[in-house]
Amino acid sequence: MSDSTKADRKMLEALVCPVTQAALTYDAEKQELVSKAAHLAFPIRNGIPIMLVDEARELD
């Protein structure tokens, strides 16, 4: 794993859901951070997590 990949993972692991403050899971395939507690998926665009509720996708 490269240093930038380690840094990216560490940064993603440090983020929490802005709604519930619960931990997020990273979905590499969809490029999203998923909050199971809030039933939301926050997009990652150009390597930047968009942690705005208005930008999140509701999970089924």
Domain ranges of the chain: 3-58
- Across the range 12-16, mean pLDDT stands at 84
Reported as a pLDDT band with limits 50, 70 and 90, residue 8 is confident
Tell me what pLDDT residue 11 has.
78
Tens of pLDDT along 24-55? 998 989 999 999 999 999 999 998 999 999 99
- pLDDT of 9 above 80: no
Give the pTM.
Answer: 0.83
* CATH architecture, range 3-58: Single Sheet (2.20)
DSSP secondary structure string for all residues of the chain: --HHHHHHHHHHHH-B-TTT--B-EEETTTTEEEETTTTEEEEEETTEE---GGGPEEP-
